[in-house]
C-alpha cells in the first residue's frame, strides 16, 4: 500500500515528542505500507519551518527517513508518460503504465550532474534538503513561481467567465492540445508522429493514457473554473501533487481538492470517470483517516 500524505500531516511529526512517528512506523510495517514522499512535498514542508531553528527542520527530515517510504519522481512524469503514449500509439498497443518511483530524494530532482548526484546520494535527507532548498537561487525560483500564481489565476478565471458555456468545452480541448504540444516539443519521439492533431485527438479520447498528466490537467481546469474559492500559494503544490493519484493507493487532499477529485471520479459529465485508477486509490482528508480505514 502506497500512501501519499499532505504537508500538514508531516509537519505534525515534528511537533510531537516522537510517539506519533513510532506509532506510524509500526502501522506502516504491520500493513506492509509505505509513505510516498516527493520533492514537491518536501518543498512544501520545509519553508514553513524556515523561521524555526535549523535543528527542528533537521529533526523532522530525520524522522521521515526512519519511516518506511518511497520517493515519487514527478519532475518529468509528463514527458515519460507522453513518450510511452507515442510508442504505444505507433505500435497500436495498449497503454503501458510507467514506474514513477525511485529510492532516493536525490533521484526526484532533475538536471543533477552525475558527480553531484554521487556526492549527495549517500548523505542524510536533512543535509541534502538544507543545502538544496535553502540555496539562494532555489529560494528565488520558488518565490517567483508563487508570486505569479495569483495573477495567473485571476487572468484565467476572467477568461473563463467571458467564455460562453457552449464554447468552454472546445476551449478546454484546445488547451489540452497546447499542453501536449508543449511537452512533446522537447521529445524526439513526438517528431515521429505522422499527425500531431490526430495523436492529440487519440489521447483526448483515452483519458486513462498519460494518467498523471491528464488528471493534473483536468483538476487544474476545474480549479481555474471554481470562482467560489480564493487561490492560495499552497494550491500550487497541491496541483503538482495531483500527478501521483493514479499511482498510489491512498492520497491525502484538502476539502476543495477532494471535491474536484470526487467530481472527476463520479460526475456524469466527467471525462475521467471510467479511468481504472479510481478503483485502486482512496482520497482522504488526512493521514489519520488513512490509518483508520486501513
Residue in the block written with cell 517567483 = 144
What is the CB-side half-sphere exposure of residue 181 using CA atoms within 13 A? Answer: 11
User: What is the residue-wise DSSP string for 259-272?
Assistant: HHHHHHHH-TT-TT
**CA-to-CA distance for 41 and 230, rounded, in angstroms?**
22
pLDDT at 156: 60
Domain boundaries, the chain: 2-293
What's the pLDDT band for 164 if we cut at 50, 70, 90? low
User: What is the residue-wise DSSP string for 176-190?
Assistant: HHHHHHHHHTT-GGG
The tens digit of pLDDT for each residue in 1-40 reads 999 999 888 888 777 666 678 888 999 999 999 999 998 8
Q: Is 210 exposed, middle or buried (0-12, 13-18, 19+ CB in 10 A)?
A: buried
**CA-to-CA distance for 252 and 250, rounded, in angstroms?**
7
- Displacement of CA 138 from its chain's centroid (Å): 19
pLDDT at 141: 41
pLDDT at 272: 95
The tens digit of pLDDT for each residue in 104-150 reads 998 998 887 788 788 888 888 888 877 766 553 343 344 445 556 66
Torsion of CA 48, 54, 59, 60, to 10 degrees: 20
Amino acid at each position: 500500500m502506497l500512501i501519499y500524505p499532505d504537508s500538514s500531516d508531516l509537519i505534525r511529526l515534528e511537533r510531537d515528542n516522537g510517539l506519533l512517528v513510532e506509532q506510524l512506523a509500526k502501522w506502516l510495517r504491520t500493513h506492509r505500507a509505505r509513505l510516498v514522499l516527493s520533492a514537491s512535498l518536501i518543498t512544501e514542508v520545509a519553508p514553513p519551518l524556515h523561521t524555526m531553528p535549523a535543528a527542528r527542520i533537521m529533526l523532522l527530515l530525520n524522522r521521515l527517513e526512519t519511516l518506511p517510504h518511497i520517493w515519487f519522481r514527478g519532475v518529468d512524469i509528463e514527458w515519460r508518460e507522453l513518450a510511452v503514449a507515442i510508442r504505444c500509439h505507433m505500435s497500436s498497443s495498449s497503454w503501458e503504465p510507467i514506474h514513477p518511483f525511485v529510492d532516493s530524494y536525490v533521484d526526484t530532482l532533475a538536471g543533477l550532474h552525475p558527480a553531484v548526484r554521487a556526492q549527495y546520494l549517500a548523505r542524510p535527507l536533512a543535509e541534502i534538503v538544507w543545502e538544496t532548498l535553502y540555496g539562494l537561487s532555489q529560494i528565488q525560483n520558488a518565490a517567483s513561481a508563487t508570486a505569479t500564481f495569483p495573477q495567473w489565476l485571476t487572468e484565467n478565471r476572467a477568461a473563463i467567465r467571458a467564455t460562453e458555456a457552449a464554447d468552454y468545452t472546445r476551449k478546454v480541448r484546445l488547451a489540452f492540445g497546447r499542453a501536449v504540444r508543449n511537452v512533446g516539443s522537447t521529445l524526439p519521439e513526438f517528431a515521429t508522429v505522422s499527425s500531431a492533431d490526430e495523436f492529440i485527438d487519440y489521447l483526448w479520447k483515452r483519458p486513462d493514457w498519460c494518467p498523471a498528466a491528464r488528471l493534473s490537467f483536468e483538476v487544474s481546469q476545474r480549479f481555474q473554473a471554481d470562482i467560489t474559492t480564493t487561490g492560495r500559494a499552497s494550491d500550487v503544490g497541491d496541483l503538482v501533487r495531483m500527478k501521483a493519484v493514479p499511482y498510489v493507493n491512498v492520497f491525502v487532499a484538502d476539502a476543495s481538492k477532494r471535491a474536484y477529485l470526487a467530481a472527476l471520479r463520479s460526475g456524469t459529465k466527467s471525462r475521467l470517470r471510467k479511468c481504472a485508477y479510481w478503483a485502486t486509490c482512496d482520497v482522504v482528508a488526512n493521514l489519520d483517516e488513512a490509518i483508520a480505514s486501513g
